[in-house]
Amino acid sequence: MSATNSFNVRVWKTRVYKGTRGTTYTVRWAVDGREFTEPFRNKTQSESFRSVLLSAARNGEAFSNHTGRPLSMRRQDFSTTWYQLTCDYVDRKWPRLAASTRRTVAEALTAATMFMIISDGRQQDGARTRAALNRWGFNTLRRDAADKPEWVADTLRWVANHTRPAADLEDPDILRNLLDGIAHRLDGTVRSATATSRWRKIISNLAEYAVERDVLTENPVSTAARKAPQRTSMVVDRRRVVNPTQAWALLGAVASQGATGERLHAYFGCLYYAALRPEEGAALTEDQLDLPAEGWGWLHLAGAKPHVGREWTDSGEARDNRPLKQRAVGETRPVPSPPELTALLRRHLDEFGTTSDGRLFVGERATHHLPAFTVNRAWARARAAVFGDRARSLPIAARPYDLRHAAVSTWLNSGIGPTQVAEWAGHSVDVLLKIYAKCIDGDLDSNRRRIEAALARRQPSRAPGKTSPRIDREHP
């Protein structure tokens, strides 16, 4: 054995000191007669660290004379709690993340943290704990805000003192409990495979960060066994796709809703006639329009403004500024504007003009942006006007996004090639065909006639009085 390592280890009882600023739990042990100490803020952390030392000593593992720790954990930092690690991780990632990704990271870490909390016997309000973590704890801009509610501050202080050491993530039972936990909703139902996979990647990336910080020796998430994922389908349910008559009725029902509806008429028209994503419509500006007085024109899309909430954006606005999906910053996408949309946009510009930065669509009162609530409320009212009492139970056009599905389906069924449709819609061809596979109409009657003809040629003749016709084995 090297002189720098030893098997001569002794672990003593934890020393407890109660001071004016709180209680400190100090783990004490010796390696080759040299005493080492490690202080902790709470009892659970100290017990976890001490149990690792005892386990290593009982298993005959060598300890370092320099650090005093078992060789297998000499790089680990057992003083870092899960909450400290996750907050540091969020702060490190924050500047480079889109606002929507920031929100997703907060949701994933909130769900995971609920499985890393150690209770002190006090009953905590789970809903409040999740709200405090999701909206403040894992939000770099709001965590230390002076104006946050007192209940939020109290909850975050409690969480900071009642989460496990981050190194506990290497415990297979704790890790499995966490990964299984984030795969289920609060009501016990299984979360979608897409969301579970996305959240698991976030936890794995957090573990990689912990390795860099010497909190973990390796990433345990990358080697943890995966359960077979649920089968998920990218295919659009054709029951959600409106036909032209239904689309015209819905757009008319939007326009009939007074001043707000008139402002949104052309917005929804962009989703249906040009297959814009809702966030692309919200970002549309006058200088992106190439429209004649009437007839066919062009929209040259240059960006998107997804609604994520003002607490997640650097600007403090509810909508973030993003490039087009699957495209680099500054890249544009041309989309044709049919005569119907050209007329709608011309009328909108004449009646409402644009904002100071040239955007077409804003709220009636929120004149600097387009509120998602306003859009969804107008759409719900339009569906109720067109479909009546059944609107809530029918899948057809359940979301404004379904107008985009209707537009792409119309293009494909009109005979436009998939390559052209994919370019206009902002998809790759393979993704386009996967998503809209069930929305492409074939010549059903013609196909049925072909099948009937093939079956007729195989049909054996039945002579009167024959109970068992002869089967001709020749191919037709």
Model confidence at 470: pLDDT above 60: no
Average pLDDT over residues 119-124: 66
468 has a pLDDT exceeding 50: no
User: Is there a shared CATH topology between the 5-73 domain and the 238-437 domain?
Assistant: no
State yes or no: pLDDT of 132 exceeds 80.
yes
Q: Give the Cα separation of 428 and 234 in Å (integer).
A: 14
Residue 459 pLDDT class (50, 70, 90 cuts):
low
pLDDT score of 74: 52
Q: What is the pLDDT of residues 294-309, one digit of tens each?
A: 999 999 999 999 999 9
Query: Is residue 441 scored above 80 in pLDDT?
Result: no
77 pLDDT tier (thresholds 50, 70, 90): low
Token duo for residue 149: 């509610």
Largest Cα separation within the chain, whole Å, is 108
Lowest mean pLDDT, pick from 422-426, 442-446, 466-470 = 466-470
Report how far residue 407's alpha carbon sits from residue 270's, in angstroms, rounded to the nearest whole number.
Answer: 10
Q: For residue 16, list its beta bridge partners.
A: 25
Q: Is the Cα torsion angle 427, 428, 429, 430 positive or negative in sign? A: negative
User: Could you tell me how many residues make up the chain?
Assistant: 476
Q: What's the pTM?
A: 0.73
pLDDT band for position 234 (cuts 50, 70, 90): low
pLDDT at 473: 41
Cα dihedral across residues 259, 260, 265, 267: positive or negative? positive
The whole-number average pLDDT for the span 435-439 is: 74
Determine what percent of the chain is predicted with pLDDT higher than 90: 60
Domain boundaries, the chain: 5-73, 82-212, 238-437
Cα–Cα separations (whole angstroms), residue 466 to 155, 272, 459, 463, 471: 86, 61, 15, 6, 13
Query: CB-based contacts of 105: which residues, under 8 Å, 6+ apart?
Result: 90, 93, 97, 138, 202
- What is 5-73's CATH topology? Double Stranded RNA Binding Domain (3.30.160)
Structural element, H or E, at residue 99: helix 99-113
Predicted confidence at residue 446, as pLDDT, reads 57
Q: Mean pLDDT, the chain, as a whole number?
A: 87
Q: Backbone phi, then psi, for 297, in 5-degree steps?
A: -140, -165
pLDDT band per the 50, 70, 90 thresholds, residue 476 = very low
Which of 332, 310, 329 is CA-nearest to residue 320?
310
Per-residue pLDDT tens digits for 351-369: 999 999 999 999 988 778 8
Higher pLDDT, 349 or 215: 349
What kind of fold does domain 238-437 have according to CATH? Answer: hpI Integrase; Chain A (1.10.443)
